[in-house]
Structure 1
Amino acid sequence: MTGRPGGMVHEGVPFADPRGLAAELAGPVSAALAAGEPVIAVLDEDNRAALTAAIGSATDAVEFLDPVAVHRLPAFTVATRWARLSRRAARPEQRTTVVAQHMALPGIDAAHWIRLDAALNVALEGLPITMLCPCRADADLDLVRATHPVLRVDGRSEPSGDLRDPAQLVAQYPPPPPPDLGVPLVDRTFDTAALPALRHLVAETSTAAGLDPEHVADLVLAVNEIATNSVEHGPGLGRLRMWSTADGFVAEVYDVGRMGVPFPGMVAPSPSGERGRGLWLASELADVLQVWSDDTGTIVRLTVEAG
């Protein structure tokens, strides 16, 4: 496979039918399993069955995940979780292989896959992870080439030659606007002086909503990082809202400033730098971090998942 030694491999794998896809995947998947490396697959039932038929009982060592469960989350969160999976491997040098099929799923638009693959090119940079992304051969292969450094065809891995800048792609295919979560439990404006009271309010409200103490502590720290960024690097005044939803507990910070960060919280800040730590830390502490920013202001939502 192509890619820097020890670094990311991100390949698009066009396929016409399950048997053809299994033939493309059998080599790299079998090699990873033979090396004792972890393999995770997110495939529909037909492609999972075809891969199992192609490599037999070896698939017992593959961790198959439910596509709906994986992709119910925002694209940036999915990319962050794949990166986190690699960073937290039992052995730092161990390569992880992920087979993640592009497919039609309820509530998922086609732009989800573009945002996801663009984000993967950022989040996985330098990590020992192989992402194999099966996609229908009759899909828009120009977009596949634009989002994958390499295409795997007929058992060969070749540079796509048309990779586009991830930030430009995300600007062209932005995430959908923030969904309306209804009447919040809390709606409070704050400035620098109000930050201590804000932390207490987050702890009190999330505890009352049923979060366990560990998650409460993480959320308080995450909200504090975002709120501090808002007042120190933004306009000096922010707004906090919180909800308890079926998906989990949500805290949102809004201010009228604009954030020029295309992949917020996705890349660890430099040890020598001071900017970017708040978003990174909040992303690590919350289950989901989402950011929307335009001329009307910036919304940062942090979700701690239910259960």
Structure 2
Amino acid sequence: MTATDPPDPVTPHHEGVPFGGAGALAVQLAPRLHAALRTAAPVVAVLDEAERAALGAELGTAASGIEFLDPADVYRVPAFTVAVRWARLSRRAEPGARATVVGQHVALPGGDGPGYWARLDAALDVALAGLPVEVLCPFPDGDDVLSRTTHRTLLSGGHSVPTAAFREPLEVVAEFPPPPPPDLGEPGVVLPFGLEGLGGLRRTVATVATDGGLRTERVADFVLAVNEIASNSVEHGPGSGTLRMWVTDGQVVAEVHDAGRLRVPFPGLVAPPPTGVRGRGLWLASELSDVLQVWSDAGGTVIRVTMTL
């Protein structure tokens, strides 16, 4: 495959793009992006300032068709959430076209860059399966050995070159599991629940979300998301759990904890089969909320959903 030949629109494509400088990256990306901009599909670029400026200069007026996003805004959420958001771009593409994302690996605060990018690359391979989305991941040439093992191909010299060192997503996420989210302090609500308590749980979620300032239509989504998670604890878990809630930093957050162990490496990333009767809860919760996070330890499983005000 050459840089001027876009991938087949029905096959997901996730490719690394090693680069030695902003200008060199722009030259590498320009043919692929020119081809993408000629289709009826979104083109999104998440680039540092220097790389964005170089790409704009290389593309000229065509750059106006790209939705440029600030890396600080995009990557402030967990890696799995970013993968889900790129997968959702497929819904904005016309039949026969594919959405395109340029997602640069940038320096992140906190020092978790390698783990974050490993999780994101692994999640993309799972979340994009069967969807018309292309994600190109620029990273510094010679700087990031890890990125060469989390992409099946690399864009180099205008060609897609297979990487012999590629590792499967399950292997990658086993080495770099998602860390537990930050502690939010004392919750405003602590509510144990069982089957008979699900109605009260829904009312509590609606009240806290509404009082916290969440818009009416998003309150309904949030209630449904939390209900799906709590119902899983009742129907498929130990039969009971505990709801905790916070309103903090412009967000409404709900956690459901139960004593069961959830062994799902990529929770909520992929829609269940249409004919299936189970497995929809986490996916629905992910679809209905802004961020879904799941972690398990010896004490059980915690699922956190977040909505931004």
Query: Does structure 1 conserve the Cα–Cα contact (< 8 Å) formed by 2:242 and 2:257?
Result: yes
Give the partner amino acid of 2:50: D
Q: Does residue 1:9 correspond to 2:13, yes or no?
A: yes
The 3-state SS of whatever aligns with 1:194 is helix
CA-based RMSD of the aligned residues comes to 1.5
Q: Return 5+ residue gaps in structure 1 as ranges.
A: none
Q: Return 5+ residue gaps in structure 2 as ranges.
A: none
Query: Does structure 1 conserve the Cα–Cα contact (< 8 Å) formed by 2:89 and 2:133?
Result: no
Q: Does residue 1:162 correspond to 2:165, yes or no?
A: yes
Which residue of the partner structure matches residue 42 of structure 2? 38
Which residue of the partner structure matches residue 228 of structure 1? 231
Residue of 253, 256, 274 corresponding to 1:253: 256
Matches within 5 A, 1:114-263: 114-141=118-145, 143-263=146-266
Which residue of the partner structure matches residue 113 of structure 1? 117
Which residue of the partner structure matches residue 26 of structure 2? 22
In the aligned structure 1, how far is the partner of 2:155 from the partner of 2:269? Answer: 27
Which residue of the partner structure matches residue 282 of structure 1? 285
Which residue of the partner structure matches residue 48 of structure 1? 52
CA deviations 1:84-105 (Å, max 9, x no partner) are 111x215243211111100103
1:36 Cα offset (Å): 4.7
TM-score (norm 2): 0.94
Give the partner amino acid of 1:106: P
Change in CA separation of 1:58 and 1:4 when aligned onto 2, cut-off 3 Å? closer
In the aligned structure 2, how far is the partner of 1:270 from the partner of 1:34? Answer: 33
Change in CA separation of 1:57 and 1:95 when aligned onto 2, cut-off 3 Å? same
CA deviations 1:59-96 (Å, max 9, x no partner) are 1111100110000010000000000111x215243211
Q: Does residue 1:104 correspond to 2:110, yes or no?
A: no
The 3-state SS of whatever aligns with 1:49 is helix
1:108 Cα offset (Å): 5.9
Q: Does residue 1:64 correspond to 2:68, yes or no?
A: yes
In the aligned structure 2, how far is the partner of 1:8 from the partner of 1:162? Answer: 20
Query: Does structure 1 conserve the Cα–Cα contact (< 8 Å) formed by 2:42 and 2:89?
Result: no
